[in-house]
Amino acid sequence: MTSDEVSQVSVGQRLGTYELVKPLAQGGMADVFLAKDGEQHVALKILNAQRSMDRESCALFLDEARVVGLLSHKNVASVLGAEVVGGLHYLAMEYVHGADLREILLAASHGNQPIPFAMSLSIVAQAAAGLDHAHRRCDLEGKPLRLVHRDVSLSNIMVGHDGVVKVVDFGIARSTISTVHTSPGIVRGKASYMSPEQCMGDKVDHLTDVFALGIVLYELTTGARCFHGKTDFERMLSVVRGDFISPSDLVSDYPIELEQVVRTALAADPAMRYPSCAAMIEALERVMAGRGWTGGVDTIRNVMHGLFGDVREPWRTADEEVPCTEVHDVISPEAGSASATVTAKLTRPRRFPRGTISEIYDPKDWRADVDEAATRGHRRIRRASSPRLAA
């Protein structure tokens, strides 16, 4: 297939039964459009022209449809179908009306608004529930899929304005039904969210996703990058060495029991991590109960309202009424006691620590970190004999 054989997509174009309404996102592998089929609106993920000429990329794309088609969980964005039309590969996916965690952190940082610990823990717990379902799923013959997402990150966890969290983008997931297998020396994923074994090119299992969830938990609760570096190699080296700043050094009143959850999830030795996402959920629930924090969908919905206000679905016209969101008080992560609250408008200023996401990265420069990348290492990473968990 040549580039001339791959059509350029545009708003108003039809792919199968779907009409493209508006672009939603652009990545290195695929573009995402809002599309409609009659009254139903979906997110249409379309493999871009360059990737469409690569057999492995096409196979990965179709693998995603086959794998996610076997999943059925409220915390996993579902795939409704996959087609190849006129040389274009596309997936029809559930549309999530919300924002990804990267956008949420940026909104909180730019508005000097804190994200309550209760919200952060609730988000990670929901994402963990979706991943736990994926890890335990079997194929149509009842054999374990042994599914590993391998790309859990801020940009691949969506939070709906209704308070429901969805894990998205299983584009580089590994499973027993995958037709594409990673070659020796090839590392897939985002350098800042890989596990040590993933960075080293070793065999990975579901504990790789536990590690990545630990990174997400760290960044949501501190507002700072977990693993730093100017290049992918430097970031991967930080991961392998376990080189990150202790959360309590960034947030003065960071709960010691929550820091222990982070440390356990980020253990360099997979055997020292939580044995499953379900076990990590239990640990988060113990922290919530011990602190008297109220979490769940209502907490997330209220904070989302405080950050973004009432946001109508993109297919609604300006004169259509937006459903009213009831706003309650939510617990602040900086409150001196479990009973202290601030309103969901989150107007109390907070100075984020130096090294926050917004200070390190300009949002315009995030695409390189967000896109799926497959890189071949040119230098061997030396595994630290005694990985340092914190500075």
Residue 149 to residue 352: CA distance in whole angstroms:
30
Give SS3 for 96: coil
pLDDT at 186: 58
Which of 32, 59, 94 lies at the terminal end of a domain, its last residue? Answer: 94
Residue 57 to residue 179: CA distance in whole angstroms:
11
132 phi and psi angles, rounded to 5 deg: -60, -40
Residue 292 tokens read as: 């008297």
Annotated active-site residue in 31, 63, 151, 209:
151
pLDDT at 357: 37
Both 69 and 9 in a single domain?
A: yes
Q: Confirm whether 385 is domain-assigned.
A: no
Both 202 and 239 in a single domain?
A: yes
pLDDT at 125: 97
pLDDT tens sequence across 247-293: 999 998 999 999 999 999 999 999 999 999 999 999 999 999 999 99
- Note if 298 is an active site residue: no
**Count of the separate structural domains present in the chain:** 2
pLDDT in tens, the chain (391 residues): 344 444 467 888 888 889 999 888 877 678 899 999 988 899 998 887 767 666 777 777 777 888 888 899 999 998 888 888 877 888 899 999 999 999 999 999 887 777 899 999 999 999 999 999 999 999 888 899 899 999 999 999 999 999 999 999 887 888 887 776 555 445 667 889 999 999 988 889 999 999 999 999 999 999 999 998 999 999 999 999 999 999 999 998 999 999 999 999 999 999 999 999 999 999 999 999 999 998 889 999 999 998 998 888 887 766 565 554 444 433 333 333 333 333 333 333 333 333 333 333 333 333 334 333 333 333 444 444 333 233 2
Task: Find the domain containing 45 and state its range.
Answer: 3-94
Burial of 336 (0-12, 13-18, 19+ CB in 10 A): exposed
pLDDT at 322: 54
Q: Confirm whether 186 is domain-assigned.
A: yes
Both 117 and 235 in a single domain?
A: yes
Give SS3 for 330: strand
Which of 39, 64, 94 lies at the terminal end of a domain, its last residue? Answer: 94
Both 165 and 262 in a single domain?
A: yes
Residue 387 tokens read as: 């990985």
pLDDT at 247: 96
Amino acid at 25: A
Give SS3 for 341: strand
Both 36 and 183 in a single domain?
A: no
pLDDT at 311: 86
Both 204 and 84 in a single domain?
A: no
Which of 53, 76, 94 lies at the terminal end of a domain, its last residue? Answer: 94
Residue 129 to residue 280: CA distance in whole angstroms:
9
Both 252 and 135 in a single domain?
A: yes
Q: Of 305, 267, 232, which is closest to residue 390 (Cα–Cα)?
A: 267
Residue 371 to residue 312: CA distance in whole angstroms:
27
Amino acid at 51: R
Both 263 and 218 in a single domain?
A: yes
Both 87 and 125 in a single domain?
A: no
Alpha carbon 307 to chain centroid distance?
19
Beta bridge partners of 224: 356
Whether the pTM exceeds 0.85: the reply is: no
Are residues 153 and 193 in contact, defined by beta-carbon separation less than 8 angstroms? yes
